[in-house]
């Protein structure tokens, strides 16, 4: 299933993409695609629904983040071998975890607002894991049972904030609009192998990132297992899993950071595409 949240910011409704690519309203089936709305029981309820009888959403409404009311918004750093090589950094022995502020989450095509004082705006196409079941101290064998599905994330980053203000990455990762999710959440049954998905990102139509999830250092199952050893994951939590090479920071000889007016487009096999325009902060 491809599940969406659509409508004005803060008033999004749940929906599902039908066989013709149209949005059908799920409001009578589930209240939202958030928390327990992403549990196995809730997803089973959606699967049993007669999609053809659900109301077709007219026009082309704004798409919100495909997961609502996210609690934990966890990110994994340096998780692609080719990206670590690009950055000139050693392969981590364990996943490097940091948090992105849940308030950074926005729709997949919303504008990216450049924060005040920014000088080094960057991008990172990433596979996002959406949790569907409570998970604490999982075994490696049952880790995937906690996964509801996947979506795209652009891990928007401000490198000056991230690197030059003491070693706490989250300062460059959590500004409003730095966490677009979607366009839809694809349930895990539709993604046969999350470790073999092509991914791409362009800036103003020019190729920047090309990669595949097979070069992840730590795969999806390992990441979910690992996180559960340290804190409890809840339904609706999101884990973004790292990025392939081609980020602006790694460009030689001169990094090509983003500026107001630039348009970033990105996608992952089976998970759709995103589009964001960078806009200057309000004075």
Tokens 């996002």, residue? 128
pLDDT of residue 282: 81
Nearest to 104 by CA among 113, 95, 93: 113
What are φ and ψ of residue 190, in 5° steps?
-90, -10
Q: Are 135 and 233 in contact (CB under 8 A)?
A: yes
pLDDT of residue 12: 98
Asked if the model's pLDDT at residue 283 lies above 90, the reply is no
Task: Give the list of residues 6+ apart from residue 44 with CB closer than 8 angstroms, or none.
Answer: none
Tokens of 192: 């046969």
pTM above 0.85, yes or no: yes
Q: Which residues pair with 216 in a beta bridge?
A: 80
- Architecture of the domain spanning 73-279: Alpha-Beta Complex (3.90)
Nearest to 124 by CA among 62, 93, 72, 169: 169
CA-CA distance, 98 to 88, in Å (whole number)? 20
Band (pLDDT 50/70/90 cuts) for residue 168 is confident
Give the residue extent of every domain in the chain.
Answer: 2-53, 73-279
Note the pLDDT tens digit of each residue in 202-223. 999 999 999 999 999 999 999 9
Q: Are 14 and 32 in contact (CB under 8 A)?
A: yes
Distances (CA, A) of 158 to 66, 121, 174, 202, 252: 24, 5, 9, 18, 18
pLDDT of residue 269: 98
């Amino acid at each position: 299933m491809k599940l969406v949240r659509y409508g004005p910011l803060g008033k999004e409704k749940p929906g599902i993409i039908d066989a013709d690519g149209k949005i059908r309203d799920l409001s009578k089936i589930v209240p939202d695609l958030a928390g327990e709305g992403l549990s196995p029981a809730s997803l089973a309820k959606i699967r049993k629904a007669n999609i053809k009888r659900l109301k077709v959403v007219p026009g082309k409404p704004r798409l919100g983040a495909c997961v609502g009311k996210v609690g934990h918004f966890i990110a994994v750093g340096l998780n692609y071998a080719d990206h670590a090589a690009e950055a000139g950094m050693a392969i981590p022995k364990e996943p490097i975890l940091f948090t992105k502020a849940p308030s950074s989450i926005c729709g997949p095509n919303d504008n990216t607002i450049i924060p005040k004082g920014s000088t080094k705006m960057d991008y990172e196409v990433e596979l996002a894991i959406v949790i569907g079941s409570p998970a604490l101290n999982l075994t490696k064998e049952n880790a995937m049972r906690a996964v509801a599905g996947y979506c795209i994330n652009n891990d928007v980053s401000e490198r000056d904030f991230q690197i030059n203000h003491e070693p706490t990455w989250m300062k460059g990762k959590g500004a409003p609009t730095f966490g677009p999710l979607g366009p839809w959440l694809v349930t895990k049954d539709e993604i046969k192998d999350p470790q073999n998905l092509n991914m791409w990102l362009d800036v103003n139509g020019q190729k920047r990132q090309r990669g595949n999830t097979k070069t992840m250092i730590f795969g999806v199952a390992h990441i979910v297992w690992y996180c559960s050893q340290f804190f409890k994951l809840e339904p609706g939590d999101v884990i973004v899993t790292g990025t392939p090479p081609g980020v602006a920071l790694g460009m030689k000889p001169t990094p090509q950071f983003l500026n107001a007016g630039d348009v970033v487009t990105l996608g992952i096999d089976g998970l759709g595409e995103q589009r964001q325009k960078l806009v200057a902060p309000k004075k």
